[in-house]
Structure 1
Amino acid sequence: MTTETLNGTVVLISGASSGMGRATAERLAAAGAKVALAARRVDKLEELADKLRADGHEALVVAADLTGAANAQGAVDKTIAEFGRLDTLINAAGVMLNGASEESPLEEWDRMVDINLRGLMYVTKAALPHLLEAADTSPRSVADVVNISSVAGRFAAPTVAIYNATKFAVTGATEAWRQEFTTRNLRFSVIEPGRTQTELFDQKANSDADFTAAFGEVEQLHAEDIADAIAYIVTNPRRVAVNEIVIRPTDQP
């Protein structure tokens, strides 16, 4: 996308250090938005911010572990202090640590709940008043929250129980929030990707092999494909609310 349809708006992206979050930051910056980049890996954030600034965009590094409520509030506060407003929140941080339930450490289950669900909740809660204010004051007359769920938020599978639980929760919460805020020009949308080339499958040994065994070899989606979908959602005029997008590789059963 090269058309500058988000001029004057501010986007906060969790999980911006890699994958879908990084690709989305690049895409929305190209559309004219100022971007606040939130994640734990400061070196990755600084590298991305430098790249965006070199291309003439405004970028803010927000180094934070968003699984803590105070940290999430601090990330939102830093964004407001630097840019003065918040129009769009992209919750892209996530972790997938699947495996046989009898053998999986409880710590891995806790980590998925903390990152995939608690972090999303904490950032969304902190961002709400600013998003509602932006919806009232923006020339676009709308604000957006886009949550990245997964096809695992629609269909359960063996050895995926806790990841399923977190993604079902994200999908359900997004729809409930959509209904709650639909009359206040704050749109909530959920994207449920299938197999995508990201670091998600690098987070636990053999997870990629497990996927291949279950679904076979497929031509995977790219992170930029998900960024395209997000850009489509948040650049639509106020009258258009895209509630849910399921996006899979063509070859994925």
Structure 2
Amino acid sequence: MNTASTPADRKIVIVTGASSGIGAATARHLAEAGHHVVLGARRTERLALLTKELREAGHSVEHAELDVTDRDGVRAFVDAVLARHGRVDVLVNNAGVMPLAPLAALRVAEWDQMIDVNLRGVLYGIAAVLPSMLERHSGHVVNIASTAAHRVDPTAAVYCATKYAVRALSEGLRQENSDLRVTVVSPGFTRSELTHKGGDAEAQGAARDATELIGLPAAAVAEAVGYAIAQPAHVDVNEIVVRPTVQN
């Protein structure tokens, strides 16, 4: 590890959905800040490449396969981190999917997928880390939502519903636990792979075109996550909205 960049409050950080996009950028940013980052995602070959890249740069990183829709798998992932390091300081719930389509298209399997990944996946992560954080009277949960958690657009009704729900459960978690910090980061158009799979071809294409035209680099969202984590223990940054200047 690059000890020159190790902060006095070096944290053990789990990042879900870390194989690409915001998750990978967040892993890089936090590793470069001197934290120990544990990467989780289904695409382990990508995780292995990112781990190798960051370790060769002198950073402290590890990875393991993680499917956030598998409750037992999420618990086992977190338990393994606790066994190795004794604590989880920060959980970044980033894994998400966004197959856009009109409700009338009745893409029910994709509705279920968004609920399973975007909402249940966040809940499973919280359930896995919460007992140990409460026992230590310390911890930080960072949930990646979206500007879709603040407005609803055609073809995005179910996606928006999951992200509104993430904001709601985050606020509930914050109110219930004065020892924990809870942050919701809501990105606007951001360059990632969200629009590359599933959904209605026209809706996905329009979102992809807009993202390519005005989208933020994923690193901009990662820096917002890093800002929230870097605050003193008595400062809880509850919500950050990050969007391109030209996004309405």
TM superposition score normalised by structure 2: 0.92
Aligned CA-pair RMSD: 1.9
- Give the Cα separation in 1 of the matches to 2:73 and 2:221: 26
SS of corresponding position for 2:103: coil
Assess if the C-alpha contact under 8 Å between 1:195 and 1:249 holds in 2. yes
- Give the Cα separation in 1 of the matches to 2:106 and 2:247: 26
Alignment pair present for 1:153 and 2:154: no
Name which of structure 1's ranges 97-106 and 189-198 shifts more when overlaid on structure 2.
97-106
Counterpart residue number, 1:221? 216
Assess if the C-alpha contact under 8 Å between 2:100 and 2:204 holds in 1. no
Alignment pair present for 1:194 and 2:196: no
* Aligned CA distance change for structure 1 residues 98 and 236 (closer, same or farther; 3 Å): same
1:104-150: per-residue Cα shift (whole Å, max 9, x none)?
Answer: 4211100000000011100111111222344x4xxxxx521110001
- Give the Cα separation in 2 of the matches to 1:45 and 1:244: 28
Counterpart residue number, 2:227? 232
Deviation at 1:20, TM superposition (A): 0.5
The amino acid that maps onto 1:30 is E
* Aligned CA distance change for structure 1 residues 10 and 156 (closer, same or farther; 3 Å): same
Q: Runs in 1 of length 4+ with deviation above 6 angstroms? A: none
TM superposition score normalised by structure 1: 0.90
1:151-172: per-residue Cα shift (whole Å, max 9, x none)?
Answer: 1111112221110110000011
Deviation at 1:201, TM superposition (A): 1.3
Structure 2: which 5+ runs fail to align?
none
Counterpart residue number, 1:209? 205
* Aligned CA distance change for structure 1 residues 26 and 86 (closer, same or farther; 3 Å): same
* Aligned CA distance change for structure 1 residues 245 and 75 (closer, same or farther; 3 Å): same
- Give the Cα separation in 1 of the matches to 2:90 and 2:224: 14
Name which of structure 1's ranges 46-55 and 226-235 shifts more when overlaid on structure 2.
46-55
Aligned residues: 243
SS of corresponding position for 2:142: strand
Assess if the C-alpha contact under 8 Å between 2:16 and 2:66 holds in 1. no
Counterpart residue number, 1:75? 77
- Give the Cα separation in 2 of the matches to 1:52 and 1:219: 28
Among candidates 139, 163, 170, match of residue 174 of structure 1: 170
- Give the Cα separation in 2 of the matches to 1:27 and 1:36: 13
- Give the Cα separation in 1 of the matches to 2:81 and 2:206: 39
User: Percent same amino acid among aligned pairs?
Assistant: 41
Assess if the C-alpha contact under 8 Å between 2:92 and 2:143 holds in 1. yes
Among candidates 25, 28, 46, match of residue 27 of structure 2: 25
- Give the Cα separation in 2 of the matches to 1:163 and 1:3: 38
SS of corresponding position for 1:237: coil
The amino acid that maps onto 2:47 is L
Assess if the C-alpha contact under 8 Å between 2:97 and 2:118 holds in 1. yes
* Aligned CA distance change for structure 1 residues 234 and 198 (closer, same or farther; 3 Å): same
SS of corresponding position for 1:221: coil
Structure 1: which 5+ runs fail to align?
137-141
Assess if the C-alpha contact under 8 Å between 2:155 and 2:203 holds in 1. no
